[in-house]
């Protein structure tokens, strides 16, 4: 049984909380802020005026968290796996497929149960066939792992420090230069995302092998996080100011507040993810079984929260009016929903593990005993002799 580093498991938990916070913002709060039907609801158009609202800075800060969380998970994988001569894709495939199947079954059964028994809360039904499209990140992660198995790990392990760094800088440059990133995307849809995953995986391996941030003080790491957040707020201000100018030039009409969004290869979520990764890597934390178990449940948490079924539960709250009336209440309820969502996913992971143990217990009832098969085969073997 492999030993888990509790500081990294705490980082997994933090990254998943960031992703949940982002999905709640993207699929619920942002929808209520910009959707015409939602704006038409009573008291829900409180931000639909041509001015810069400081309260919406909260949403601007949440906007890059999902991509930063994705970056952290890829870096963690590279940190622990990039130095290996071989990667067990069978083990990885088994883990992904089993948890995908369990999540699809659980969501399907929950949809049926709630639709049948709780009519005041008609959920968005989730069919069992969602197994094939439950979460895009699964395919993204698996392609990076296959790439690592086929050639990436072997390639990285042959590089000295100078060439390893050059590889990272060239790949990072391809992702940051607008035209080269477009070329990657046009060559094959999603190739820019895969290249981002390869960069992050390779960077995780580089950090483990060479510890490039060793001489950087802690306050500088924290300063990168703070500076990135300030730039994100400034970006929101500039975009809002541009929208106001366009609104004035058009002579009025409906004004829709716009929160900037970021792709996985954009600079700000990458900087945020790298800085948070380095921050947690420096934490000296003794092995903690509770943290390690919760960290191991994050994949199940991801599968169970990112779907229309959960979005509809989140959207029962009028987030925009709440944010307008009381920022503290908004943040408290927001955090509570995140914790409830995470806890439900962790509880489901417990059920998944119990189900696995039950299947092992029932294994003799479903499979023939190896001894019996051997006895059956022995007469034929003797006949051949």
Q: Residues 72-83: what's their mean pLDDT?
A: 96
Positive/negative CA dihedral, 231, 232, 234, 238? positive
CA 111, distance to chain mean position in Å, is: 23
Q: Residues 209-237: what's their mean pLDDT?
A: 95
Q: Find out whether 232 and 22 touch, Cβ atoms under 8 Å.
A: no
Instruction: Record the pTM.
Output: 0.91
Q: Is the pLDDT of residue 67 over 90?
A: yes
Phi, psi of 304 (to 5 degrees): -85, -15
Q: Is the pLDDT of residue 382 over 50?
A: no
3-class SS of residue 159:
coil
Average pLDDT, the chain: 88
Q: Mind listing the pLDDT tens digit for each residue in 136-163? A: 899 999 999 999 999 999 999 999 999 9
Q: Find out whether 244 and 257 touch, Cβ atoms under 8 Å.
A: no
Q: Mind listing the pLDDT tens digit for each residue in 306-362? A: 888 888 889 888 899 899 999 999 999 999 999 999 999 999 999 999 988 888 887
Q: Is the pLDDT of residue 231 over 80?
A: yes
Q: Is the pLDDT of residue 293 over 90?
A: yes
Q: Find out whether 12 and 76 touch, Cβ atoms under 8 Å.
A: yes
Q: Find out whether 330 and 323 touch, Cβ atoms under 8 Å.
A: yes
Q: What is the pLDDT of residue 309?
A: 84
Q: Find out whether 305 and 251 touch, Cβ atoms under 8 Å.
A: no
Dihedral, CA atoms, 359, 365, 367, 369, nearest 10 degrees? 120
Q: Is the pLDDT of residue 189 over 60?
A: yes
């Amino acid at each position: 049984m492999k030993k888990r580093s509790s500081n990294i498991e705490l980082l997994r938990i933090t990254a998943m909380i960031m992703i949940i916070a982002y999905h709640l913002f993207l699929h619920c709060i942002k929808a209520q802020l910009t959707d015409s039907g939602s704006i038409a609801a009573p008291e829900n158009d409180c931000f639909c005026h041509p001015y810069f609202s400081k309260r919406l800075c909260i949403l601007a800060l949440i906007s890059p968290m999902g991509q930063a969380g994705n970056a952290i998970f890829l870096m963690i994988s590279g940190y622990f796996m990039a130095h290996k001569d071989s990667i067990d894709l069978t083990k990885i495939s088994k883990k992904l497929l089993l948890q995908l199947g369990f999540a699809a079954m659980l969501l399907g059964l929950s949809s049926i149960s709630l639709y049948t028994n709780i009519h005041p809360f008609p959920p968005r039904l989730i069919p069992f066939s969602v197994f094939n499209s439950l979460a895009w990140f699964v395919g993204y992660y698996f392609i990076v792992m296959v790439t690592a198995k086929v050639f990436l790990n072997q390639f990285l392990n042959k590089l000295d420090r100078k060439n390893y760094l050059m590889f990272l800088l060239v790949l990072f440059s391809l992702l940051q230069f607008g035209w080269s990133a477009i070329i990657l995307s046009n060559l094959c849809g999603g190739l820019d995302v895969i290249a981002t995953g390869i960069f992050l995986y390779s960077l995780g391996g580089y950090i483990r092998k060479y510890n490039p941030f060793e001489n950087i003080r802690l306050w500088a790491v924290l300063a990168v996080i703070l500076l990135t957040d300030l730039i994100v707020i400034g970006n929101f201000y500039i975009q809002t100011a541009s929208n106001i100018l366009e609104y004035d030039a058009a002579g009025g009409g409906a004004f829709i507040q716009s929160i900037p969004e970021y792709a996985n290869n954009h600079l700000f979520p990458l900087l945020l993810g790298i800085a948070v990764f380095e921050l947690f890597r420096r934490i000296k934390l003794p092995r903690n079984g509770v943290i390690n178990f919760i960290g191991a449940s994050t994949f199940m948490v991801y599968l169970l929260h990112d779907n229309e079924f959960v979005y509809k539960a989140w959207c029962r709250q009028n987030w925009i009016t709440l944010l307008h009336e009381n920022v503290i209440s908004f943040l408290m309820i927001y955090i509570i929903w995140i914790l409830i969502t995470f806890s439900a996913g962790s509880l489901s992971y417990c059920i998944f593990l119990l189900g696995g143990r039950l299947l092992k217990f029932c294994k003799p009832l479903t499979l023939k005993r190896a001894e019996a098969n051997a006895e059956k085969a022995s007469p034929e073997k003797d006949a051949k002799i």
